[in-house]
């Protein structure tokens, strides 16, 4: 495994981040434990979760389930907690915190205190390295947000502040307010970014780089679109049927892109998933894409991505298949 600094901090993290959103609903506790053990064994030390994970979809009452699984894994000891750079998030409503109107989504100081304490209890730890706002809260002023962060950092409950799903202007507002307080502010932005979704190149990535924030891409395989399953259906008839349905739902342009992408990866001699990850890792703005393995084999396969060095010709070929927005703003759409 390779490592890099998280944004402008002195904290080193693995170049792949272990995503845990499937722990509970789709990956049972035993398998989740095995994947986390294997991740540490292979040097993947950066873990990401959120307080609402486990309760998405048809079972919102299970929000917090994923953090509980991680907490029980930590409780086994053996240096597990000490070896992990742990990131979690807050913003959404939690079914175990029925506090009326203040249970609405947001990142107020009130919600931060309640959600952080609940997350620490579920995670069976006394701190998290990276506490991330899961979304922008347009009602909470930055003086309130940064005052709350300063308090939990001073108390040793949190080490760094991060964001997720922020626009470039929100990153700038946040950092300007932090600068006025002589506070570090954000150190990272977790954002949807992949070969099939390159809009962040217009504003978010340039802003993050200039502000010294590490970018942590979520959905690096575009929800499985870049994993190779659509172009190469495997498994039984049911799996092939789902694959055919997924392919049918793509536009003609998307189907052409996936076909060309599969052919390119075959020529390169690498899997589609690993090329997609390697493409992200080649971007100097990116700290670590989030991988979400549901099986150990998926984790070990993804480790190869860190070793893939895409040359200029390969990057240009990928630009032809998945054109970006034309670079950073304003040059992408103006003179």
* Catalytic sites, residue numbers: 53
Cβ atoms of 102 and 110 closer than 8 Å: yes
Distance of CA 34 to the CA centre of its chain: 21
Question: 310 and 278 in contact (C-beta within 8 Å)?
Answer: yes
d(CA 145, CA 133): 10
Q: Are 172 and 128 in contact (CB under 8 A)?
A: no
User: Half-sphere exposure (CA, 13 Å, Cβ side) for 179?
Assistant: 8
Between 312-321 and 272-281, two packed helices, what is the crossing angle to 10 degrees? 110
Distance CA 214, CA 48 (A): 14
What are the backbone angles phi and psi of residue 148, rounded to the nearest 5°?
Answer: -70, -40
Closest to 91 measured CA to CA, from 168, 186, 165, 159: 165
Q: What is d(CA 214, CA 160) in angstroms, rounded to the nearest whole number?
A: 12
Q: What is the DSSP letter of 307?
A: G
| Residues 190, 221, 42: CA angle, nearest 5 degrees | 80
- What's the residue count for the chain? 335
- CA–CA gap between residue 122 and residue 28 (Å, rounded): 17
């Amino acid at each position: 495994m390779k490592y890099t600094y998280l944004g402008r901090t002195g904290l080193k993290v693995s170049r792949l981040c272990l995503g845990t959103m499937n722990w509970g609903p789709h990956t049972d506790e035993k398998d989740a434990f095995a994947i986390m053990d294997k991740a540490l064994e292979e040097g993947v030390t950066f873990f990401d979760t959120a307080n609402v994970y486990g309760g998405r979809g048809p079972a919102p009452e299970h929000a917090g389930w994923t953090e509980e699984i991680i907490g029980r894994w930590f409780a086994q000891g053996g240096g597990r907690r000490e070896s992990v750079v742990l990131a979690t998030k807050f913003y959404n409503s939690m079914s175990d915190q029925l506090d009326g109107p203040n249970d609405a989504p947001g990142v107020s100081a009130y919600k931060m205190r309640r959600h952080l304490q609940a997350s620490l209890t579920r995670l069976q730890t006394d701190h998290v390295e990276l506490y991330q706002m899961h979304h922008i809260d347009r009602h909470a002023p930055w003086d309130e947000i940064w005052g709350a962060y300063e308090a939990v950092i001073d108390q040793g409950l949190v080490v760094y502040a991060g964001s997720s799903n922020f626009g470039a202007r929100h990153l700038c507002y946040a950092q300007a307010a932090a600068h006025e307080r002589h506070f570090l502010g954000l150190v990272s932005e977790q954002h949807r970014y992949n070969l099939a979704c390159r809009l962040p190149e217009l504003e978010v990535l340039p802003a993050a780089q200039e502000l010294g924030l590490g970018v942590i891409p979520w959905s690096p395989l575009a929800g499985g679109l870049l994993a190779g399953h659509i172009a190469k259906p495997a498994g039984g008839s049911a799996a092939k049927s789902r694959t055919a349905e997924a392919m049918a739902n793509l536009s003609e342009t998307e189907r052409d892109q996936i076909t060309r992408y599969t052919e390119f990866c075959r020529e390169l001699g690498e899997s589609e998933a690993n090329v997609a990850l390697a493409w992200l890792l080649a971007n100097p703005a990116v700290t670590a894409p989030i991988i979400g393995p549901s099986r150990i084999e998926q984790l070990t396969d993804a480790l190869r991505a860190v070793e893939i060095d895409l040359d200029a010709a390969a990057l240009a070929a990928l630009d032809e298949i998945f054109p970006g927005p034309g670079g950073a703003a304003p040059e992408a759409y103006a003179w």
